[in-house]
Amino acid sequence: MFNKSLLSIAAAAALGMGVTSANAVVFSYDGSGSAGSQVNLIGLDWSPDNALSIGALSTPPVNGSQTLQTVAQGKLATFTTASGPQSALFAQTGREYTFQASFFETATGIGTSAAAFQLASGANYFKVYADTANNSNQVTGTGYGDGTLILSGTINSLTGTFNDFTRLLPSLYPVTGLDQFANGPGGNGDVDGGVVSHVGNGSNTVNVKIDFLDPSYFLGNVAELILTLNYNDTTNLAVPFNAAQPSDSVVGFTPNYSYVNGAKVNGADCTQGGVTESGTRTRSCDFQFQSDAAGSFVNQVPEPASLALVGLALAAAGVASQRKKKSA
């Protein structure tokens, strides 16, 4: 009993007192495991897409803060290795990679010009899929979670900020059309039914503790990787949309905008209730962001002092074992 308890304590201490370092992961981009499909993957660079903070403008604060659910999704733009982005290699994969995420945040300052966010308790996830169908649709928001799950994890830390320039300087940053990507590269015209938006930007940084890797895609000692591998992601947030289309749904949630004297306004106060793009009145007022995420794999490496604890535990366990034998 002594042996097991001491070893457990030392192992927990070693994991808890670790430091992080960048880590390349051997990745088979088509799931075949063949030598020609392998890449030493350091990070993932996602195309601009959508995030939605549910009820951000309609959830009443408690003791000065609000607890909100935020969801996000995206499609991979390219792999990153030690040599940089691998766009040509990525084009050979014959499939799309998508992610979906959901988490709860504690928010302060919503409804003012500056808001801050931290991770709140509650179920959360980050999931990555591989799909040969290539059927994700940014306008409808569908097809992001119907591939083969190849990575999943839970978010164990989050910090973020957002600045609303329309609230700060309305004369310089007036309400404008939410979809400014209408005439940009790949733009499909105004796809959001005339929704307008506040102007602002911000970012959040999350750390994901990985708990599942598909061994067809992630090669090597997967069990060891799951023990030590984390994924760090930084996402830039902005409104209006100028590099992506606003989605009709984000991880299955339909955006509700603030209803302001007949207008659908993203980011405005919810004093008159909410409204969907199609005109259905609601009680909830969400905040829809353009998101642009990029992340890297990091290895949680035990510090030397932590490793010494493990050694001490092993030595103590040996002494206890010898005493037990002598007493017998």
37-80 residue pLDDT tens: 999 999 999 999 999 999 999 999 888 899 999 999 999 999 99
Contact in structure between 212 and 148 (CB atoms under 8 Å): no
Task: Specify the pLDDT at position 309.
Answer: 42
Q: Would 173 be classed as within a structural domain? A: yes
Closest by CA position to 139, among listed 183, 99, 201, 189:
189
Residue 315 pLDDT grade (very low, low, confident, very high; cuts 50, 70, 90): very low
Q: Would 208 be classed as within a structural domain? A: yes
Q: Would 14 be classed as within a structural domain? A: no
What mean pLDDT is reported for the chain?
Answer: 87
- The number of residues in the chain equals 328
**CA 304/CA 79 separation, integer angstroms:** 32
Q: Would 13 be classed as within a structural domain? A: no
Q: Would 7 be classed as within a structural domain? A: no
Q: Would 156 be classed as within a structural domain? A: yes
Which range marks the domain in which residue 127 is found? 25-323
Q: How far apart, in Å, are the Cα atoms of 80 and each of 33, 83, 85, 97, 98?
A: 19, 8, 4, 14, 16
Q: Would 328 be classed as within a structural domain? A: no
**CA 91/CA 94 separation, integer angstroms:** 7
Q: What pTM was computed for the model? A: 0.85
**CA 107/CA 70 separation, integer angstroms:** 11
Number of other residues whose CB lies within 10 A of the CB of residue 291: 26
DSSP state of 260: E
Residue 92 pLDDT grade (very low, low, confident, very high; cuts 50, 70, 90): confident
Number of other residues whose CB lies within 10 A of the CB of residue 15: 13
Q: Would 8 be classed as within a structural domain? A: no
Task: Say how many domains are in the chain.
Answer: 1
Contact in structure between 257 and 66 (CB atoms under 8 Å): no
